[in-house]
Every structure is written in structure tokens, then in C-alpha cells.
């Protein structure tokens, strides 16, 4: 399929063109730029008040479109606005023929771009059918975020399968835009035949921020806790363990991180899921033309000027997005600003407001709270033998809490001990042979570990110490649940592993699926001492 890197404008029909020649009138359009988004009445009114200048026209139907912060009208530049916070006019491009001449309709847009839009749709539908045929045992689902891209993907999947009875899953991060909640609620109610499931993490976003500090661009723990884990919690019960194909509205152009991603992705954070991206290579303008010409309902936040409608407090938000949040959702903005102010004061910032407004909290690499890290390992070698280590834990843990953490290693067998408790972990992959012994005394914060094998001893010790770090750092966030393919991990009121379900696959012991095997360890390990 062709890659459309440029846009043109048909002066006769007054529409953006995905290809040089207008399919409606045959006119060869003028080249304008690489991408556009439509402007809406709400956004135009907001900008007029902000820049104190009348904008000719009220929406895209009057020829108004935007690229980044440059407003175009009838294929010509009108205004260039600043994108850092409050919009201001940087440059004006007024011309005599730059004012509205056409009243556009979705039908006009479609007729001018008919073959291109049909080709995009045809390719996406064919791809969806091919994927489903390639994984006959997996159940197709739609990961529905409430954004424009997932709206398009939902429509395409239901059209490809010729049914609305496709499970839609919405992960409530507890920090969605108010418009997103309204849109998801209306979407789930209006689509009478669409099975719709909503899920959320055990803790709210603010609760988690109090426990492990706000996320940053480098340490975006929020995606694992509030998206991957809740979705995994649902998918673990879907399709009897055969897994799902999750169709998602991911596009390559949205971020640098997605530049080299493939259209089919084996999701590491969600054990039963293969993620599929039908519109991965679509441009912004292609998504919008598809929505407008198919008369698809979409999130009202786009009408207000938001480019994206992800999490409201995302550390990757642009300054202009934060400005719009402050203008449209002042209560939510104030709540977050006050929280960041308290956090800034707690970590010793001399000017908390400057730290927030300069986006210092977004640029953090890791933890900055003074004190010893809960993820730190304190250990002492034992004079009784080189394979014996005494670990001093950061607090006293019960016998049951210790046992639960070591269950993934194998069968945990209780043995006799003159003082306290004693257990042997046996390796099921090696005929039940002993791996290590751990001993402790109820009410004390010491744990004695005795390694009983020589083969792969170094890796075994690493896994044991990583397990101890998770024990010391656990806040029951649920981030580890999604990586278990057997749904053996429970974190409702305490951490628990169901022995009848656990296959000792070691996924939860590894750093391969989650950094350091744990969201909180990943954050807390960077506390300065």
C-alpha cells in the first residue's frame, strides 16, 4: 500500500486531499503540508477568546484545519500560535483569498478522497480477517480507550467480523477526562449488542502517587498499573485460557517509541494477549477523514482542541494540553497541581511552583525521597557455610507472607526447626530436588537462606534476592498479576499465589516482563540514601 507523506488541497471543492488529484472534480490540488486535524466550533471559540482575534469560520466545515499550532483555512496558512501554554499569535498569514468559500460536508470529504479512504478500509479489514484466521483459538477483543483511534478500530473490527458482539474492554485509570467517561458510557449504552467490560486497579492514581511518587517520562509506572494490569485481570478469565487477540488503536506517528513497532505484538505485560494494530500506519488526517466520512461519534474533548485524550495527568502531556485541562477542567487541574505542590515541598524543592510549571516532575529519572530504599537488600554472610546468607528485612513479615513469595520457585515443603519456621523449596522441573531452604522466626525481621544446589546458583540467588525486594516494596498495586498466564496471583487484601494454578513458569521471578519484576521495586530502588 502507498505511503502518503503529503497533503494537497482542492481549491474547487475546498477539501484536503490524501492524493494529489481530487476524485470529485478531477482538479490537481496544491501541496500544503504533511498532516492536519479538523477544527471544531468549541475550539474556535476558545481560541478567539485566548488570542483576542476573530477567526473567519467556525469549524472544519468552513475550511479550518490545524497542523500542530498553525491554523489553515482553505489550504492557506492563517495563523501560527505558540504551543507552550497559553496560545499566542506568533505570525499571521492573512490573504485576500484565504477566507471561507465552501461549506463542507462529510460527503464532500468522501467524494474527494473516495478511493484512498476505501483502500485504507479495505486493507485494514483484510488484515483483521487474516489475523483472526491465523489465531483460530484466540478470542478477538477491542481495547477501547475512548480516543479517536480506538473508535476507528472498534468500527473496523466489527465491520470485518460483521457483528457487534465483540468484547470491548475499557481500563479506567481513574484519571480520564470527564468527556472520556461520558463518551465511554454513551458508547457502551448505545451499542446495545456490544459486550462492554470496565476494569480498574485496586488503588486510585492519587493513592499510588502517595505510595511511590508521581510517574515521570522515564518511569511511567502508571501504564502497567492502570492499563495493563486491569485489562489482564479481565482477559485471564476470557476464552478459557486460550488467549485473546486485542485490537488496539496504536499508531506509529504518535510517538518515537512506536516508530519501529510491528503490527502484531506479543504483549509481555499481559500473558494471554497478542496485541494487533490495524491502523498502525495511518496518519492523523486519515483517521479524522475516516471518522467524519463514516459519521462516527467521538470524544467531545477533541472538539475542545485536545490532540489526544489519554490520561489527564500523563507526564508526556504537552504544555498546551495542560493549559487546556486547566481551562476546561479547573477542579481536576487544581487537585493535581496541589498534589504536585505538596510533593515538591516534601522532596525539598525551594520553589515548588516553578518546579511544577517548568515540568521538573515530568523529567525525573526516579525516586528522590531521602531515606533508605525499601528495595535495598541488607545481607550478611554466615560463618556456618558459604552457601548460607542472613537477610535483614526492612520490617517483620509473617511466616505466611514469606511462604507466598517463594511459591513460584517450586513446591514449598515445611521442615522441622528448633527455633521458628523452616521450609525447603523443591524444583519440580528437576524431579522435586531441593533448591534452597529458608528459615526465620515469627515477629523478627531476619531471614536465613541456604542454597542447596550448585548448578545455576548465581541466577537462583538473583531470583531469591529479587523476590525479597518485591516482598519489602509491595504495595499491592496489582502490576504483577498481568504477567501470570495462569491467573495464579491474587493481590486483593494481601499477596497470594494459588498453588493449584501456579505452574512455576518463573515469569513473575524474571525482569523480562516487568522491570526488576515489580513496578514498585523499579521506582523505589532509585531512592537516594
Tell me, yes or no, whether 157 and 249 share the same domain.
Answer: yes
Tell me, yes or no, whether 272 and 126 share the same domain.
Answer: yes
**283 phi and psi angles, rounded to 5 deg:** -90, 165
How far CA 417 is from CA of 263, 264, 420, 471, in Å, comes to 55, 52, 6, 23
How far CA 146 is from CA of 197, 224, 274, 502, 519, in Å, comes to 13, 18, 20, 35, 26
Question: What stretches in the chain show pLDDT beneath 70?
Answer: 1-5, 94-101, 191, 239-241, 256, 268, 271, 365-375, 524-529
How far CA 524 is from CA of 216, 368, 501, in Å, comes to 13, 9, 30
**372 lies in a domain?**
no
Q: Which residue among 71, 90, 107 closes a domain?
A: 107
Q: What is the rounded CA–CA span in Å between residue 251 and residue 34?
A: 16
Tell me, yes or no, whether 88 and 121 share the same domain.
Answer: no
Q: Which of 476, 463, 457, 475 is nearest to 517 (CA)?
A: 463
**275 phi and psi angles, rounded to 5 deg:** -90, 135
Tell me, yes or no, whether 38 and 157 share the same domain.
Answer: no
In this structure, what DSSP letter does residue 28 have? Answer: B
| pLDDT number for residue 271 | 67
| pLDDT number for residue 265 | 84
**401 lies in a domain?**
yes
**359 lies in a domain?**
no
Tell me, yes or no, whether 98 and 140 share the same domain.
Answer: no
Q: What range defines the domain where residue 63 resides?
A: 8-107
Q: What is the rounded CA–CA span in Å between residue 148 and residue 517?
A: 33
Residue 91: strand pairing partners: 80
Tell me, yes or no, whether 69 and 123 share the same domain.
Answer: no
3-class SS of residue 419: coil
**345 lies in a domain?**
no
Task: Give me the CATH number covering residue 232.
Answer: 3.40.50.620
Q: What is the pLDDT of residues 127-136, one digit of tens each?
A: 999 999 999 9
**356 lies in a domain?**
no
Tell me, yes or no, whether 80 and 169 share the same domain.
Answer: no
pTM for the full model?
0.88
Q: Which residue among 90, 107, 124 closes a domain?
A: 107
Q: Which residue among 70, 90, 107 closes a domain?
A: 107
Task: Give me the CATH number covering residue 437.
Answer: 3.30.310
Tell me, yes or no, whether 164 and 90 share the same domain.
Answer: no
Q: What is the rounded CA–CA span in Å between residue 474 and residue 393?
A: 13
- Number of structural domains in the chain: 3
| pLDDT number for residue 347 | 86
**373 lies in a domain?**
no
Tell me, yes or no, whether 136 and 84 share the same domain.
Answer: no
Q: What is the rounded CA–CA span in Å between residue 243 and residue 34?
A: 39
In this structure, what DSSP letter does residue 228 have? Answer: I
**140 phi and psi angles, rounded to 5 deg:** -75, 135
Supply 258's cell numbers.
512506536
Residue 276: strand pairing partners: 247, 264
Tell me, yes or no, whether 129 and 98 share the same domain.
Answer: no
Tell me, yes or no, whether 518 and 397 share the same domain.
Answer: yes
**160 lies in a domain?**
yes
Tell me, yes or no, whether 258 and 150 share the same domain.
Answer: yes
| pLDDT number for residue 191 | 65
**254 lies in a domain?**
yes
DSSP 452-489: ---TTHHHHHHHHHHHHHHHHH-----TTGGG-TT--E
Amino acid at each position: 500500500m502507498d505511503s502518503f507523506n503529503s497533503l494537497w488541497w482542492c481549491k474547487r471543492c475546498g477539501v484536503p486531499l490524501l492524493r494529489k488529484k481530487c476524485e470529485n472534480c478531477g482538479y490537481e490540488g496544491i501541496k500544503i503540508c504533511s498532516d492536519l486535524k479538523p477544527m471544531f466550533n468549541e475550539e474556535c471559540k476558545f481560541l478567539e477568546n485566548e488570542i483576542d482575534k476573530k477567526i473567519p469560520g467556525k469549524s472544519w466545515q468552513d475550511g479550518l484545519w490545524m497542523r500542530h499550532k498553525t491554523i489553515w483555512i482553505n489550504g492557506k496558512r492563517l495563523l501560527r500560535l505558540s504551543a507552550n501554554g497559553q496560545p499566542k499569535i506568533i505570525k499571521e498569514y492573512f490573504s485576500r483569498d484565504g477566507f471561507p468559500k465552501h461549506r463542507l460536508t462529510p460527503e464532500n470529504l468522501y467524494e474527494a478522497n473516495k478511493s484512498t479512504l476505501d483502500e485504507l478500509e479495505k486493507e485494514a479489514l483484510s488484515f483483521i480477517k487474516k489475523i483472526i484466521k491465523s489465531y483460530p483459538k484466540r478470542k478477538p477483543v477491542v481495547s477501547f480507550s475512548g480516543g479517536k483511534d480506538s473508535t476507528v478500530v472498534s468500527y473496523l473490527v466489527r465491520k470485518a467480523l460483521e457483528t457487534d458482539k465483540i468484547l470491548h474492554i475499557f481500563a479506567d485509570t481513574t484519571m480520564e477526562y470527564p468527556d472520556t467517561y461520558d463518551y465511554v458510557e454513551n458508547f457502551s449504552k448505545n451499542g446495545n449488542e456490544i459486550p462492554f467490560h470496565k476494569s480498574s486497579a485496586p488503588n486510585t492514581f492519587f493513592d499510588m502517587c502517595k505510595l511511590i511518587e508521581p510517574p515521570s517520562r522515564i518511569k511511567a509506572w502508571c501504564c502497567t498499573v492502570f492499563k495493563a494490569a486491569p485489562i489482564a485481570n479481565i482477559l485471564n478469565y476470557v476464552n478459557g485460557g486460550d488467549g485473546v487477540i486485542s485490537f488496539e488503536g496504536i499508531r506509529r506517528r504518535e510517538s518515537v517509541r512506536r516508530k519501529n513497532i510491528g503490527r502484531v505484538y506479543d504483549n509481555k505485560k499481559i500473558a494471554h494477549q497478542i496485541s494487533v494494530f490495524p491502523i498502525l500506519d495511518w496518519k492523523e488526517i486519515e483517521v479524522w477523514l475516516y471518522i467524519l466520512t463514516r459519521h462516527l461519534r467521538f470524544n467531545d474533548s477533541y472538539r475542545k482542541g485536545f490532540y489526544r485524550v489519554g490520561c489527564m495527568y500523563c507526564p508526556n502531556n504537552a504544555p498546551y494540553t495542560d493549559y487546556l485541562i486547566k481551562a476546561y477542567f479547573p477542579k481536576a487541574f487544581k487537585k493535581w497541581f496541589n498534589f504536585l505542590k505538596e510533593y515538591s515541598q516534601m522532596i525539598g524543592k525551594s520553589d515548588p511552583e516553578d518546579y511544577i510549571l517548568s515540568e521538573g516532575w515530568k523529567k525525573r529519572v526516579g525516586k528522590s525521597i531521602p531515606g533508605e530504599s525499601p528495595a535495598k537488600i541488607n545481607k550478611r554472610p554466615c560463618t556456618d557455610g558459604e552457601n548460607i546468607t542472613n537477610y535483614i528485612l526492612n520490617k517483620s513479615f509473617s511466616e505466611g507472607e514469606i511462604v507466598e513469595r517463594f511459591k513460584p520457585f517450586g513446591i514449598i515443603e515445611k521442615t522441622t526447626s528448633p527455633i521458628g519456621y523452616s521450609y525447603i523449596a523443591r524444583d519440580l522441573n528437576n524431579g522435586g530436588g531441593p533448591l534452597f531452604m529458608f528459615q526465620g522466626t515469627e515477629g523478627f525481621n531476619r531471614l536465613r537462606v541456604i542454597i542447596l544446589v550448585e548448578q545455576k546458583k548465581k541466577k537462583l540467588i538473583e531470583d531469591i534476592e529479587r523476590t525479597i525486594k518485591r516482598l519489602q516494596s509491595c504495595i499491592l498495586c496489582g502490576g504483577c498479576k498481568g504477567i501470570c498466564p495462569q491467573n495464579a496471583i491474587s493481590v486483593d487484601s494481601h499477596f497470594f499465589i494459588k498453588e493449584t494454578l501456579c505452574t512455576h513458569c518463573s515469569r513473575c521471578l524474571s525482569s523480562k516482563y516487568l522491570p526488576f519484576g515489580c513496578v514498585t521495586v523499579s521506582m523505589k530502588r532509585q531512592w537516594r540514601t
